[in-house]
Amino acid sequence: MRSVRERESVGFAAARFFMMKNAEISAVGEVVVLQTDIVWQDREANLAVVGAMLEEARPGWGALVVLPEMALSGFSMDPERSADDGSGVRALGELARRYGVTMVAGVARWREDGAANEAVVLGPDGEEMGSYRKLHPFSPPGEGLVWRAGERIELFRWGGFTVAPFVCYDLRFPEIFRAAAAAGADCFVVVANWPSRRTHHWSLLLRARAVENQAVVIGVNRSGTDPAFLYEGASAVIDEQGAVLAEAGAGVEVVRAVVDHEAVVAWREAFPALRDRREVAALRVGNRME
């Protein structure tokens, strides 16, 4: 990770910035969401799908392109067959370089301390800017027994935005979003393999995270099936007041939206809910009323 700068403690953990070299600062940015039907444990097939979708979408230079969680393998509990050895991330970096975009992709990969489920950030130069490791493994299928949990919130700059990436089940834990917002985040990216039986939770929680943190939220789910689940997409881009700017259906789809950093700044200034918050750690819990 290059150009890393430590931030102050934000309650849950210290947040880190990883900065893109020579990043152009712009108030308005294009978001391109690739809602894919992930081919089960087939890296090359999934890279081909991503490449074809990018070729058709032709995102503008400097756009933010986002792929689902475990985009090269599907939500697998078998690291030996699904964890990337580095070649998949390099191939995604080449696609980011070819189209001149910043890319956030969910990737299962091998790390020095074992296999991890991460959101990897790639710059327009094709180089990895940094990565975020899922803080909350999904316990029902035993994800935490297979993939090592993260310990840190990570932030990166895209245009005028400070972006915090999260992964799937993390969406259910508002405290980490608030910690990221306290560290300066005004945009959240959530990459997911979120099953259809709980799609209504997905859509509701994405909007809740946007409203309570007065931030843009980009939620990217997959479509199709794997051996355990059915997925109905519903990827969405949501503005700082909870309005849905763009939303996908259930199938394979490219979703585009334009997000405005100045609108986020203006709303936070006009309605200062974040500024009015109190530190929960400083509050006392009273005795139960009888």
Residue 285 falls inside a structural domain: no
Residue 287 falls inside a structural domain: no
The total domain count for the chain is 1
Residue 288 falls inside a structural domain: no
CB 192 within 8 A of CB 119: no
Candidates 141, 204, 136; CA nearest to 167 is 136
Residue 265 falls inside a structural domain: yes
Residue 191 confidence (pLDDT): 98
Residue 21 annotated in active site: no
Active-site position among 30, 118, 128, 134: 134
Enter the pTM of the model. Answer: 0.92
User: Which distant-in-sequence residues (6+ apart) come within 8 Å of 22 by Cβ?
Assistant: none
Residue 116 confidence (pLDDT): 97
Q: What is the CATH number of the domain that holds 214?
A: 3.60.110.10
Residue 168 annotated in active site: yes
Residue 182 structural domain: 4-278
Residue 83 falls inside a structural domain: yes
Active-site position among 30, 69, 118, 143: 69
Residues 220, 159, 176, 135, CA torsion sign: positive
Q: What are phi and psi of 208, to 5 degrees?
A: -65, -45
Residue 286 falls inside a structural domain: no
Active-site position among 30, 128, 154, 168: 168
Q: Quick one: three-class SS letters along 186-232?
A: CEEEEECCCEHHHHHHHHHHHHHHHHHHCCEEEEECCEEECCCCEEE
Per-position pLDDT tens, the chain of length 290: 322 233 333 344 456 665 444 445 678 899 999 999 999 999 999 999 999 999 999 999 999 999 999 999 999 999 999 999 999 999 999 999 999 999 999 999 999 899 999 999 999 999 999 999 999 999 999 999 999 999 999 999 999 999 999 999 999 999 999 999 999 999 999 999 999 999 999 999 999 999 999 999 999 999 999 999 999 999 999 999 999 999 999 999 999 999 999 999 999 999 999 999 988 877 788 777 66
> Distance of CA 222 to CAs 191, 229, 290, Å?
9, 11, 48
CB 45 within 8 A of CB 85: no
Q: Give me the residue label for tokens 């600062």.
A: 25
Residue 65 confidence (pLDDT): 98
41-48 long-range contacts, Cβ below 8 Å, gap at least 24? 41/73, 41/74, 41/76, 41/78, 41/81, 41/82, 42/73, 43/72, 43/73, 43/84, 43/87, 43/88, 46/71, 46/72, 46/73, 47/72, 47/88, 47/91, 47/92
- The CA distance from 115 to 254, in Å, is 29
Residue 26 confidence (pLDDT): 72
**What tokens were used for 99?**
């189209």
